[in-house]
Amino acid sequence: MTVDAILGLAEAGGCPRDLVGGKAANLAEMTSAGFPVPGGFCVTTAAYRQVLSEGDGPGLLEELIRVPDGDPESLVKQAGRLWAHALSVPIPAWLETGIVEAYERLSQGEPVAVAVRSSSTAEDLPDASFAGQYDTFLDIRDAEEVLAAVRRCWASLWSDRATRYRAAHGLDRAPAIAVIVQRLVDAECAGVLYTANPVSGNRSEIIVDAAPGLGEAVVSGAVTPDHHRLTVDGESLEGPDDGCLAPAQLGELVAVGRRLEKHFGAPQDVEWAFNGEGELWLTQSRHITTLFPVPESEGEPRAYWSVNVYQGISRPFTPMGASMIRERQRGMAVYMSALGFSDEIIDVDGWLYWDITDGVRSPAKRPKMAAFVESLAAPSGKLVEQLGRDPRFPSVPSGSEQDAPPKKRRRRWERMIPAWLWPDQARARVVREAEQRIAAFSGPAEATAEERLSFVESVRRSACRIEANLPRDANTAGGTGGQLAGQLLRGYVDDAEVATVFRGIPHNPTTEMDLALWRAASAIRRDDEAFRLLLDTAPDELAAKQLAGTLPEVIQSGVAAFLADYGCRATSEIDFGVPRWTDDPEPVFAMLVNLLRAEGEEQDPQTRFEQAAAAAEARIVELTRRLPVTKLHRAILARFLLRRSRRLRGLREFPKFCLMRGFASLRAQLLIIGEEIVRAERLDRAEDVMFLDLAEVREALDSRDFRVAVARRRETWERESRRPRVPSVLLSDGTAPALESASDGGDLSGLAAAAGVATGPARVVHDPNTARIEPGEILVAATTDPGWTPLFLTAAALVTETGGMISHGTTVAREHGIPAVVGVPGATARIRTGQVITVDGSAGVITFAEAAGEPR
């Protein structure tokens, strides 16, 4: 028998997790720290690996590893073969004898009931608990039963549910598993303790579920437990007075829970039991993996608004991306501070927040803050208003200087009037200045790494603040012209009708990007060989061929031309650290394939765009004719302003496009610097510079080795990237407030962001880089940014969980002429792919089609 096949539970302390698994490692650590843990032993992963190496095991494992990504059914099928192997392969005699002897030592010659539980290497992780994924066997009373239960724990590593869970979390396909055998507590009352509320996220509440007998009944859901909600001081907020736990026992649980949280440094999910003598035993403690990270704060409650949600990205920022967006937002600090936002952005594990407490508490600032955030990321504004009524956020005394509203800047009519009179010249001036500024960011072609870094440091501020530094009069005139026209038409035309004249807007770089991709797809469609190649080849393989220059000419040149103009863009592009399409064109090929499936003139975005522009002109005439002859002067002025506004509104997306071009130039320089640091063996990959900030890049160039630090940051970034959603508003106690009026079922409602009605099957998309949207499907997403908009070319409508009237996604949806409803809480969970829905972008309502045998 090998020395590490079986260990006493206390001996497992300090052993590598890949030897004893997560559960045993935690229990051993708890034992060493003096927590009351039942005695037992661990059948380590070395024993499991020995068993797996018998017979067909190695071949079956190799086949599982080779299953292609994105094929969960084949993965589950192959895992089933390993499950059967674990149940049937003979256990070596030496191992069988070792397990029996360990059980006999535990029982001291007398039959003793034990629990046999799995302890996988992929279990009780900070971001994946694997709760309930592996098997547990209770009340096992002899050696033969112990051997059978150990074997079944091994097999549970390959169950359907565990295999799918690992795939969903992007974890190791081929983990190992240890098994814990522990004395079974003769429980009089048992259950689960959460040191933070796992539902609301509130860190100031403790939850205890308890039931008579074994805790497995609570964990499995076999009984309805006593439910206690307490403060961290043990004060009862909710719970029965006649439950199985006495008040003193609840207090003991609260105290041990707080000790465990302090010991492990994070909120804990704890399984516990009181025996007949009233002794408390702990049988498990692990991180609560669903809690969203919260900025550290002390004192009175604080409220935060998510920069990620505001920017339309649902994954954390890279460290370099966070530092760049901080610089960008400093250019807006005066304006944002006047609305009640904190001066600086807070970073927690890549999730960025503004502290909005001052704005929430100010009666003067709150309405302006609410309107601002609602326009960008509904329903954040409603949540701000709701918090203003929350007694935890009392209003600041009226009349104070900080309560004074920001002074209104006088509109510079003398500059907007020329823009209305000569819109093309006004737009051209903005473009010329932008080109001059962007040219200054291109950097040296030949230089040392130190010189390149000095260049990046010298232009960083200008590049990050280009949006604020560009002339804004023409852009302002485009938006103001439409507003003034609406006022002139008021009483005869409503706002929704005015919005219909802003479809098919020219000169919007995001819309132009989408149409350029469509033209590339159309050229490829006319070449049968190229067309079939694109449809039959995986996007990652096409991307590799593009970078190698080996694709057919119509594809190679078409994609190269597209990347020359728009390769600076990407999904989540506001994060400087994210690869651009030039770096990795795989998403471009995925979108091209998507567009190649759209056939027929009715699916031609170029035609639809031109028709929308013609219809908008006709609509201007029709709306302004509603005014009576006595108001002819108003009708003429409104018609003039609407036409001029159309010619200028494309500038709405232009500053962001310029920012992306500047980012791409600086990224190129930093990646070259990264190559130099790799050669010096202080980073593993050039792109690792995106997990540093500029000051650290200089340290790395000098002498500091950042490989360990980057690996740790990457691990955190990858863990946080797997979170299913980002709350737009978060409180310092961890609570993500919900709208008081949120619908519990039936039809869904949100912000009417783009007029029109469309009915079709839903397509819920979490990653646009690999999405497939069939013509006529309705795109449902948590959020969108410009990198998503090529999907709009085939989508019939858009539904998002966040977004506002002036966010990038809704602006482009209006210009493409597809209905959009945004700010729909929980849309990606409440709508299923394939479900037929109707999106009314004029009313802001999503309705569900009746389906046979399916509740509405």
**Each residue of 271-327: pLDDT tens digit?**
999 999 999 999 999 999 889 999 988 889 999 999 999 998 989 999 999 999 999
For 676-694, what is each residue's pLDDT tens digit? 999 999 999 999 999 999 9
Residues 169 and 60 reside in one and the same domain: yes
Residue with tokens 């630090």: 709
Query: What's the pLDDT score for residue 231?
Result: 95
Predicted local distance difference test score (pLDDT) of residue 294: 92
Q: What is the mean pLDDT of residues 164-192?
A: 85
What pLDDT was estimated at residue 290?
84
Statement to judge: residues 650 and 788 lie in one domain: no
Domain assignment of residue 600, yes or no? yes
The C-alpha angle with vertex 267 and arms to 27 and 225, in degrees rounded to 5, equals 80
Amino acid at 415: R
Q: Does 199 map to a domain?
A: yes
- Residue 353 · residue 303 · CB < 8 Å: no
Partnered with residue 236 across adjacent β-strands are: 230
Digit-coded pLDDT (tens) for 408-448? 455 567 789 999 999 999 999 999 999 999 999 999 999 99
Q: Are residues 138 and 14 in the same domain?
A: yes
- What is the share, in percent, of the chain residues with pLDDT greater than 70? 93
Which residue from 736, 825, 726, 731 is spatially nearest to 200, judged by alpha carbons?
736
pLDDT confidence of residue 298:
86
H helix intervals, 734-773: none
Inform me whether the pLDDT recorded for 773 exceeds 60.
yes
Q: What is the pLDDT of residues 576-606, one digit of tens each?
A: 999 999 999 999 999 999 898 877 666 788 8
Vertex 34 angle, CA 125 and 37, to 5°: 65
Q: Is residue 316 part of a domain?
A: no
Ramachandran quadrant class, 21 (left: phi over 0; alpha: psi -120 to 50; beta: rest): left
Residue 388 in domain: no
Same domain flag for 469 and 552: no
Q: Are residues 209 and 267 in the same domain?
A: yes
The whole-number pLDDT of residue 124 equals: 45
From 149, 183, 217, the end of a domain falls on 183
pLDDT for the residue numbered 741: 62
Domain match, 191 and 159 both: no
Cα-to-chain-centroid distance, residue 71: 22
What is the count of structural domains for the chain?
A: 5
The pTM (predicted TM-score) of the whole model is 0.85
pLDDT for 697-718, tens place per residue?
999 999 999 999 999 999 999 9
Query: Of the candidates 266, 287, 308, which is a domain's last residue?
Result: 287
Asked whether residue 152 is assigned to any structural domain, the reply reads yes
Instruction: For residue 65, tell me if it sits in a domain.
Output: yes
Instruction: Identify the pLDDT of residue 1.
Output: 44
Say how far apart CA 719 and CA 350 lie, in whole Å: 11
Residue 23 and residue 163 in one domain: yes
Same domain as 645, residue 666: yes
Cα–Cα dist 425/387, whole Å: 46
pLDDT, tens digit, for every residue of 533-559? 999 999 999 999 999 999 999 999 999
Closest to 479 in 3D by CA, of 659, 641, 311, 639: 641
Helices (H), 53-195: 57-65, 72-88, 93-107, 143-156, 160-168
Evaluate the omega torsion of the peptide bond into residue 379 and state whether it is cis, within 30 degrees of 0: yes
Which of 512, 530, 513, 549 minimizes the C-alpha distance to 593?
Answer: 530
Q: Are residues 564 and 537 in the same domain?
A: yes
Last residue of a domain, one of 253, 272, 287: 287
Residue 380 lies in a domain: no
**Residue 724 lies inside a defined structural domain of this protein:** no
CATH code at position 40: 3.30.1490.20
Residues 171 and 193 in one domain: no
For 76-89, write each residue's pLDDT tens digit. 888 889 999 999 99
Q: In the predicted model, is pLDDT for residue 71 greater than 90?
A: no
Same-domain status, 521 and 596: yes
| Same domain for 601 and 643 | no
CATH number of the domain encompassing residue 779: 3.50.30.10
What is the set of active-site residues? 808
E strands in 765-810 = 778-781, 797-800
What is the model's pLDDT at position 359?
A: 96
pLDDT per residue as tens digits for the range 138-152: 889 999 999 999 999
pLDDT the model gives residue 743: 52
Give SS3 for 69.
Answer: coil
Domain span holding position 76:
6-183
